[in-house]
């Protein structure tokens, strides 16, 4: 023996950032705070701050990590060989869900409609995503189902009391016996994917056909998230064509419906949330709307979940900025704090510009959901925002990981989880090409949508010459949109919309930097390639006050 005990200290741990600790996510996010007030939800500031403190607490940060480390498990059969088709979740998942439901993120605009209700909910949704994104999926689908069920008022009336409940009830029992319920949807099949009209699942009427009537469904769904939710909207081919059905996990007689979970998806991201492949074998369901009108009916739900894709992506961006800025404010290299080094400040400032542009657009979009008069703008702005904000999350997350370095790719780092999460919102509810085609469809078939967009953009006339030139060219290009160049067109529409909002509402340093880089093109091909004129210090002081 050499006199040293086994496991003796070989070095002192130095130059490592402390754990993030309790964070007031709302108080530190100026863009979110100001947007909440500006878009009509000042009345929700106190409740939003409470939720921001909760989501930023060490306890909830740990719950987010644990829910992703302890993945859902499929229990297809019980120990006696009976088919049960249940999914087990870690207690941390249930904690995340319980808090989100208690905050009303799944239902509040429908239960208590008022000016700013969707904006208030949007802020809560983004704060939840800053902490942990996976649990947002069942919350989002439950929120989005109400406008679709409104096509069948008597069915909505039956479910609404439990949909509106702020009690999270994870028990797998018939919905009529629960204190609160959650909804999901299942559209895609193996052979079709986004082309849902290629679906082969069949629906046969038990007796009479028609809205609200009973049918039996046989077929499969390739992707069904949150299969432990209480009921789902699904698409199936009825005699009259592709139709929308409500399919509960339990039949009216109190028996398990023929909803069979074949396996859980082993996903790259969104791992806390179970996603599954399912099969139906004469599963009981009710028709929502008319036969053959399944796509328009379920699109009432899809449009709201697309809004949540935008909110989730904006929340992911904010989380990445937060963790990168926290690291840079404590870590030193080459004799200086990372935050004090001009190149790192440029990278973080560029990330902050992108994050604020996403947050500002998200809240403006949510405002449009509060006002039926804005339906044309909502129609096109949802698709534009879904395409661009969700697209920007992945490269931003990659750059944030690089700010930390190798340890950012270690699963113990929250950024590793956000990095894996970042591409998902761009894929779910319509990938990029599908969304761009939807924008073209809106321009062609709903002229008021394009007019509403242009009217919104013109509100910023005269505020920035670069933005004015961009908008004027865009207006000319909107007259002759082409499918082959649709991505370029939608990108420019999104940048014009973000620029218009920022020059009207954000500090000059940030708005000018956005227009100089994203609009005028004085920018490189990676984050941080900013012109010398950008005031990185002012942008960072706003984005993450804790850095100073």
Output 380 or 545, whichever has higher pLDDT.
Answer: 380
Between the two ends of the chain, the Cα-to-Cα distance in Å is 50
The residue count for the chain: 548
Exposed, middle or buried: residue 66 (CB in 10 Å: 0-12, 13-18, 19+)?
Answer: middle
pLDDT value at residue 195: 86
CATH class for domain 175-293?
mainly beta
CATH assignment, 297-547: 1.20.140.10
- Range scoring the smallest mean pLDDT among 166-170, 429-433, 453-457: 429-433
Q: What is the pLDDT of residue 6?
A: 55
Q: Give how far Cα 316 sits from Cα of 167, 290, 414, 492, Å.
A: 26, 38, 11, 23
pLDDT digits (tens, 9 = 90+) for 88-138: 999 999 999 999 999 999 999 999 999 999 999 999 999 999 999 999 999
Q: What is the mean pLDDT of residues 192-219?
A: 94
**CA distance to 102, 148, 151, 289, 431, per residue, from 297 (Å):** 28, 6, 7, 7, 20
The pLDDT confidence band at residue 414, using thresholds 50, 70 and 90, is very high
Predicted confidence (pLDDT) at residue 276 exceeds the cutoff of 80: yes
What residues does each domain of the chain span? 30-75+85-164, 175-293, 297-547
Q: Is the pLDDT of residue 515 over 50?
A: yes
For 246-257, write each residue's pLDDT tens digit: 999 999 999 999
pLDDT top residue among 451 and 544: 451
| C-alpha closest to that of 57 among 46, 69, 49 | 49
Q: CA angle, corner 373, sides to 372 and 377, nearest 5?
A: 95
Q: Which residue, 47, 48, 86, 89, is CA-closest to 68?
A: 89
pLDDT value of position 192: 83
Mean pLDDT of 454-465: 98
- Give the pLDDT confidence score for residue 3 in this predicted structure: 46
Across residues 469-497, what is the average pLDDT? 97
- Mean pLDDT to the nearest integer, 142-151: 97
Name the DSSP class of 517. I
Cα 216 to Cα 240, 301, 333, 450: the distances in Å are 15, 22, 65, 41
pTM above 0.85, yes or no: yes
Average pLDDT over residues 144-154: 97
Distance CA 36, CA 47 (A): 12
Q: What integer is the mean pLDDT of 351-357?
A: 98
């Amino acid at each position: 023996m050499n006199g040293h005990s086994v496991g003796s200290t070989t070095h002192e741990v130095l130059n490592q950032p402390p754990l993030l600790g309790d964070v007031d996510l709302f108080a530190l996010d100026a863009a979110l705070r100001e947007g909440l007030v500006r878009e009509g939800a000042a009345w929700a500031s106190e409740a939003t701050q409470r939720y921001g403190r909760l989501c930023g607490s060490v306890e909830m940060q740990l719950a987010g990590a644990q829910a992703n480390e302890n993945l859902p498990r499929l229990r297809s059969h019980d120990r006696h060989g009976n088919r049960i088709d249940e999914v087990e979740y870690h207690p941390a998942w249930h904690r995340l869900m319980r808090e989100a439901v208690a905050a009303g993120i799944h239902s509040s605009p429908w239960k208590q409609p008022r000016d700013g209700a969707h904006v208030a909910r949007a802020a809560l949704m983004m704060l939840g995503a800053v902490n942990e994104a996976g649990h947002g999926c069942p919350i989002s689908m439950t929120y989005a189902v109400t406008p679709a069920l409104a096509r069948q008022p008597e069915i909505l009336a039956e479910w609404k009391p439990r949909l509106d409940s702020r009690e999270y009830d994870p028990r797998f029992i018939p919905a009529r016996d629960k204190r609160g319920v959650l909804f999901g949807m299942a559209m895609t099949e193996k052979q079709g994917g986004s082309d849902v009209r290629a679906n082969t699942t069949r629906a046969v009427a038990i007796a009479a056909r028609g809205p609200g009537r009973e049918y039996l469904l046989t077929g499969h769904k390739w992707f069904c998230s949150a299969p432990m939710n209480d009921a789902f909207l699904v698409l199936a081919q009825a005699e009259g064509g592709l139709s929308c059905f409500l399919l509960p996990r339990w039949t009216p007689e109190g028996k398990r419906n023929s909803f069979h979970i074949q396996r859980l998806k082993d996903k790259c991201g969104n791992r806390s949330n179970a996603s599954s492949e399912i099969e139906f074998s004469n599963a009981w369901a009710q028709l929502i709307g008319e036969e053959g009108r399944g796509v328009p009916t379920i699109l009432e739900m899809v449009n709201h979940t697309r809004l949540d894709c935008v909110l989730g992506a904006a929340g992911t961006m904010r989380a990445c900025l937060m963790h990168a800025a926290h690291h840079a404010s404590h870590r030193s290299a080459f004799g200086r704090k990372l935050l004090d080094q001009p190149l790192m400040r440029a990278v973080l400032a560029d990330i902050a510009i992108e994050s604020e542009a996403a947050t500002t657009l998200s809240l403006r979009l949510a405002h449009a959901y509060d006002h039926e008069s804005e339906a044309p703008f909502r129609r096109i702005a949802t698709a534009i925002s879904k395409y661009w904000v969700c697209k920007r999350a992945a490269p931003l997350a990659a750059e944030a990981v690089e700010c930390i370095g190798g340890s950012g790719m270690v699963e113990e780092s929250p950024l590793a989880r956000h990095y894996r999460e970042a591409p998902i919102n761009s894929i779910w509810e319509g990938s990029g090409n599908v969304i761009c085609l939807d924008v073209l469809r809106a321009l062609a078939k709903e002229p008021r949508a394009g007019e509403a967009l242009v009217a919104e953009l013109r509100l910023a006339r005269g505020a920035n010459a670069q933005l004015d030139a961009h908008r004027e060219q865009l207006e000319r290009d909107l007259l002759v949109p082409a499918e082959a160049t649709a991505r370029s067109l939608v990108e420019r529409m999104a940048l014009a919309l973000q620029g218009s909002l920022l020059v009207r509402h954000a500090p000059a340093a940030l708005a000018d930097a956005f227009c100089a880089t994203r609009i005028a093109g004085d920018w490189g091909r990676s984050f941080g390639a900013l012109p010398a004129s950008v005031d990185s210090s002012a942008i960072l002081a706003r984005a993450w006050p804790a850095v100073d």
